[in-house]
Amino acid sequence: MEARSTDNLDQPGDGTQRPPGTTTPGLKGKPGKRLSAAQSHFPKLAECAHFHYEAVDFGNIQLSLEQGEEAPGDEDPLFVIQVTCQGRTWRVRRSYEELRTLDGHLHCCIFDRRFSRLPPLPPGPRAQVLPPLLRQYLETLSAIVDSNINCGPVLTWMEVDNHGNRLLVNEEASINVPAIAAAHVVKRYAAQTPGELSFEVGDIVSVIDMPPAEDTSWWRGKHGFQVGFFPSECVELFPDRLSPGGKGDGDGPDPGVLAPPGPLSPSLARRRGKLAGLLRAFLRARPSRQRLLQRGILRQRVFGCDLGEHLLNAGTDVPAVLRCCAAFIEQHGLVDGIYRLSGLASNIQRLRHEFDSERVPALARAPFLQDVHSVSSLCKLYFRELPAPLLTHRLHPRFAGMSYLVMPPGTCLCLGFAFMGQVPC
């Protein structure tokens, strides 16, 4: 199964396309099977693998209820929901239970119901109250849905990808056809028509259609994520290690056993020596890690990086993540359990990605003002992922031993400050 955007859908008749020069009907593609609109080809939300996009950019999504469809037997009726994103509109058909699953998923990792103000969807209401209830729900949801939703199953439920394109699942895509053989390219070929493959010498091609030689000299295969035709004389099949029966014929060497390599020809040895020399020259000429950091090609991570190394590379005394989070908590942190309660995982991961990308996020935006605990959770995450603790392993026994000392008030505090002076800065 392949998920693709409508911007890259196969053209009609892709399966039967043949390059010029083929005169016999030896290659025939399998006609694409059109899925019925009433039969949903998307998996249920509960069955989707839960993941979050690192970056989303689709603006606002408008959802509206159009009508309902009667389902045969005792099945739930299907509701036609119009989805509008980036000026494009399409319709999806969902049952009431799928809408309830979506509501639960939204309030599990995206929204808090106190701030979303979405009405809860009760189990099993009467059919007469469903349309007005869902219409109100979708109108409220459309007012708050924008690029703050990065949950993959929720966007898949709406048939939207992370860039606002319609996401379709094509079960008959050519890329999903299993290969029958593997070959390596021995002759370069450049595609002459859109239905052909281009490859260089040494590339690997998966062959999915290999008609007899008397029918046509064109094969069909996969190269990377592209499927197309190519001349069979440009590739050589990899030999099978085992014969179809799995046994030798007794007259020659067993095909199941690899023969020991023989002596190399002078031309092959010269070619391998030249390749080894090029590889050694490349390894000597590669720049150092510090040079890559200075050029900005290699970025230094914030989370999981040694504190001293991070401060040296950033040229500051306090990490930017701690400085920004502390200022935000000082201003908006008067909430219940600021460091005891955890924030939404999606907000925490979004903030972490921003700081790891050497960008300072705008914490005054609505998603973080509504979820202050995500900022405090980010601080805890930073300290938790430090390779070495702030008080260092060397000074840990001294700090732990202070809890067993009986001293006058204030003496323990002075002793703690004395130990703090030995902490490397």
Q: How confident is the model at residue 121 (pLDDT cuts 50, 70, 90)?
A: confident
Residues above pLDDT 70, as percent of the chain: 67
Mean pLDDT of all residues in 133-137: 88
- For residue 282, being part of any structural domain is answered with no
| Domain endpoint, select from 240, 272, 287 | 240
User: By CB neighbour count within 10 A (0-12 exposed, 13-18 middle, 19+ buried), where does 160 fall?
Assistant: buried
The pLDDT of residue 328: 93
DSSP 151: B
- 86 and 124 share one domain: yes
The pLDDT of residue 372: 92
CATH of the domain at 204: 2.30.30.40
Q: Is the pLDDT at 127 greater than 80, yes or no?
A: no
- 151 and 183 share one domain: no
Q: Is the pLDDT at 356 greater than 70, yes or no?
A: yes
Q: Is the pLDDT at 377 greater than 90, yes or no?
A: yes
Sheet holding 78-85, edge to edge: 61-69, 78-85, 88-95
- 317 and 367 share one domain: yes
Q: 290 in helix, strand or coil?
A: helix
Distance of CA 8 to the CA centre of its chain: 18
Q: How confident is the model at residue 6 (pLDDT cuts 50, 70, 90)?
A: very low
The pLDDT of residue 296: 62
- For residue 210, being part of any structural domain is answered with yes
- For residue 267, being part of any structural domain is answered with no
The pLDDT of residue 375: 93
The pLDDT of residue 54: 81
| Domain endpoint, select from 138, 170, 202 | 170
Mean pLDDT of all residues in 246-269: 50
Please state which of the ranges 230-234, 336-340, 407-411 shows the lowest mean pLDDT.
Answer: 407-411
Please state which of the ranges 236-240, 251-255, 313-317 shows the lowest mean pLDDT.
Answer: 251-255
Q: How confident is the model at residue 100 (pLDDT cuts 50, 70, 90)?
A: confident
Q: 219 in helix, strand or coil?
A: strand
Q: What is the mean pLDDT of the chain?
A: 74
The pLDDT of residue 242: 41
- For residue 142, being part of any structural domain is answered with yes
Q: How far is CA 13 from CA 29, 229, 375, in A?
A: 8, 14, 52
- For residue 280, being part of any structural domain is answered with no
Q: Is the pLDDT at 362 greater than 80, yes or no?
A: yes
The pLDDT of residue 329: 92
The pLDDT of residue 299: 66
- 78 and 154 share one domain: yes
Positive/negative CA dihedral, 324, 326, 330, 333: positive
The pLDDT of residue 168: 65
Domain count, the chain: 3
Q: Is the pLDDT at 261 greater than 60, yes or no?
A: no
The pLDDT of residue 216: 76
Q: Is the pLDDT at 87 greater than 50, yes or no?
A: yes
- 100 and 59 share one domain: yes
- 184 and 216 share one domain: yes
Give the other-Cβ count within 10 Å of 221's Cβ.
Answer: 26
φ/ψ region of 246 (left if φ > 0, alpha if ψ in -120 to 50, else beta) reads: left
Mean pLDDT of all residues in 207-230: 84
- Higher per-residue confidence, 410 vs 279: 279
217 neighbors 187 (Cβ within 8 angstroms): no
- 114 and 134 share one domain: yes
- For residue 289, being part of any structural domain is answered with no
The pLDDT of residue 90: 87
- 147 and 222 share one domain: no
223 neighbors 203 (Cβ within 8 angstroms): yes
Mean pLDDT of all residues in 340-364: 88
- 160 and 189 share one domain: no
Query: Using alpha carbons only, what angle is made at residue 168 by residues 163 and 169, rounded to the nearest 5 degrees?
Result: 130
- 92 and 163 share one domain: yes
| Domain endpoint, select from 170, 197, 213 | 170
Pairing, β 218-223 against β 204-209: antiparallel
Which residue segment(s) compose the domain that 201 sits in?
A: 174-240
- For residue 190, being part of any structural domain is answered with yes
- 361 and 379 share one domain: yes
Which residues face 69 on adjacent strands? 78
pLDDT, one tens digit per residue, over 34-59 is 434 344 445 555 455 677 888 888 88
Indicate the length of the chain as a whole number: 425
CATH of the domain at 59: 3.30.1520.10
CATH of the domain at 366: 1.10.555.10
Q: How confident is the model at residue 317 (pLDDT cuts 50, 70, 90)?
A: confident
- Of 43, 41, 49, 13, nearest to 28 by C-alpha is 13
- For residue 425, being part of any structural domain is answered with no
- 199 and 114 share one domain: no
The pLDDT of residue 3: 46
Q: How far is CA 196 from CA 15, 29, 220, 222, in A?
A: 12, 14, 9, 10
pLDDT, one tens digit per residue, over 180-213 is 888 999 999 998 888 899 999 889 999 988 888 7
Mean pLDDT of all residues in 346-352: 90
